[in-house]
Amino acid sequence: MHTPVPEYLQEVLADLRAHVGGAVADYIPDLAAADRDRFGVALATTSGRVHTAGDADVEFSIQSVSKPFVYAAAIMDRGVERVLESVGVEPSGEAFDELSLEHDSHRPRNPMINAGAITTHQLLLSDDATAAARVERARGFLSELAGRELRINESILRSELDTADRNLALAHLLRNYGVFSAAAHEAVEGYTAQCSIMVTARDLAVMGSCLANGGLHPQTGAQVVPSDVVRQALSVMAAAGMYDAAGSWFSEVGIPAKSGVSGGMLGVLPGQIGIGLFSPRLDAHGNSARGVAAFRRLSADMNLHLMTAGPVGSAPIRAIERSTDRITVVLQGAIQFAGAEAVLDRLQSIDAEPTTVLFDVSRVDRFLDVGRRMTLEGMRRLRLDGHRIALYDPDGLLPDPDMGDGHFPENLPDRELRRS
């Protein structure tokens, strides 16, 4: 048996190949010369599997898709508070190259537009880092996420710099407002080098899967980005990644995404997948025209909209078993807030008559932090009611189960459990 996922991706490409709306960016020769019919898609799971179709291994310059990643790197280097002093998190509702600055602070509105991204690049490493070290920080970080050494395309970099008047104007104004102190040409050169890093749709999917997995790289097992930094970067990407189309994008497709002027697109669905896509023709917002159509299709077919509400996982209580000397609460699945709330609700109806309450967590996949805290608090309260608390946890999912008052449940070994 072969998994049908790659065939499904082929089908999506075949269905959309005739969609030839939009135009390639032509402000530099390298982009104007791009083969406009290229079309590739890759999907990487948080378990480390990658499925591709079409031109998924064709290289293109990452351009603005670098912005959420470099934002994450800047937060890792400087802390979120320092980064927020210089760059906001509000959608600008304007095009990517608008000078969208906040009125009082003059901070760029967000790191997904050029003004914000030029500033973000300047925040890499430290105030006294060299321009070359910042570029290498961006290239090295993107490479770590992609799981291979990415390189800068010098020809794209040079021709971008020949036509960088608008970005230079942004940098001069930012410097004028004291948002950063580097020379404008140096700031634009660093940011443009970051945009000239070459990637494939497969790379973007793998990089996205690391963010989807809370920063833990599904292929290398390394914690490449702290999970709170991933959350910040994905939040800003969801709010502003698609520029002035961000609102309609999020309501229609519901996948936090970032597009770039060379036709690349990144989508990240937390907990599930990273999606990479390449199709050079752009729509009026500067987003890949066929890419937007493909994401719409993927979201609808695979139920990927982040706001699709529904119960997450199965019911947390598999059974409550009563015997003469014991009540056994059998939990299952991933225990998060709603699951733990349901458990606490059921525990309320345990009789006042003191008995042993055994928590069997052998069928639990994992406790999220809030699930752990609430479950232990439930145990503490049952203990205060006079019950004896026991735990059957063969996989060690509740390590150090301090009920919050220095008391621990008795750990029941397997054989004693079978007795009842």
Catalytic residues: 64, 67, 191, 243, 261
Q: Does residue 260 interact with ligand GLN by CB under 6 A?
A: yes
What residues between 276 and 295 interact with ligand GLN by CB under 6 A?
286
Site for ligand GLN in 121-160 (CB under 6 A): 160
55 binds ligand GLN (CB under 6 A): no
**Residue 361 has which token pair?**
């967590």
Asked if 50 and 56 count as a contact pair (C-beta separation under 8 A), the reply is: no
Residue choice 46, 64, 100, 328 for contact with ligand GLN (CB under 6 A): 64
> Which residue from 60, 96, 278, 392 is in contact with ligand GLN, where contact means CB under 6 A?
96
Of 169 and 302, nearer to ligand GLN (C-beta) is 169
The one-letter amino acid code at 241 reads G
Site for ligand GLN in 17-46 (CB under 6 A): none
* Closer of 284 and 312 to ligand GLN (Cβ): 284
Distance CA 196, CA 206 (A): 19
CA atoms 248, 250, 252, 258: torsion sign: positive
Q: How many residues does the chain have?
A: 420
Between 54 and 260, CB nearer to ligand GLN:
260
Angstrom distance (rounded) from CA 313 to CA 328: 22
Closest CB 337 distance from ligand GLN, rounded Å: 38
How far apart are CB 176 and ligand GLN at their closest, in Å? 19
Token digits of residue 213: 């997995």
Closer CB to ligand GLN, 194 or 336, in the complex: 194
Give the nearest distance from C-beta 263 to ligand GLN in angstroms.
9
Closest separation in Å from C-beta 241 to ligand GLN:
11
The sign of the torsion formed by the CA atoms of 345, 350, 355, 359 equals negative
Candidate list 112, 171, 195, 237; residue touching ligand GLN; CB under 6 A:
195
- CB-based contact 329:358 (threshold 8 Å): yes
Interface with ligand GLN includes 355 (CB under 6 A)? Answer: no
Which regions of 55-205 does DSSP assign to beta strands (E)? 60-61, 198-199
- The C-alpha atoms of residue 206 and residue 145 are separated, in whole angstroms, by 7
> Cα–Cα distances in Å, from 314 out to 194, 340, 342?
43, 12, 12
Question: CA distances (Å), 265 to each of 26, 39, 184, 268, 410, in order?
Answer: 18, 11, 28, 10, 52
Among 52, 63, 213, 328, binds ligand GLN (CB under 6 A): 63
Give the containing element (helix H, strand E) for 207.
Answer: helix 201-212
Q: What part of residues 370-409 is at the interface with ligand GLN (CB under 6 A)? A: none
CB-nearer residue toward ligand GLN: 109 or 372: 109
Q: x/- site string to ligand GLN, residues 161 to 180, per CB under 6 A?
A: ------x-------------
Nearest to 311 by CA among 340, 338, 279, 286: 338
List of residues contacting ligand GLN (CB under 6 A): 63-64, 96-97, 114, 160, 167, 192, 195, 260-261, 286
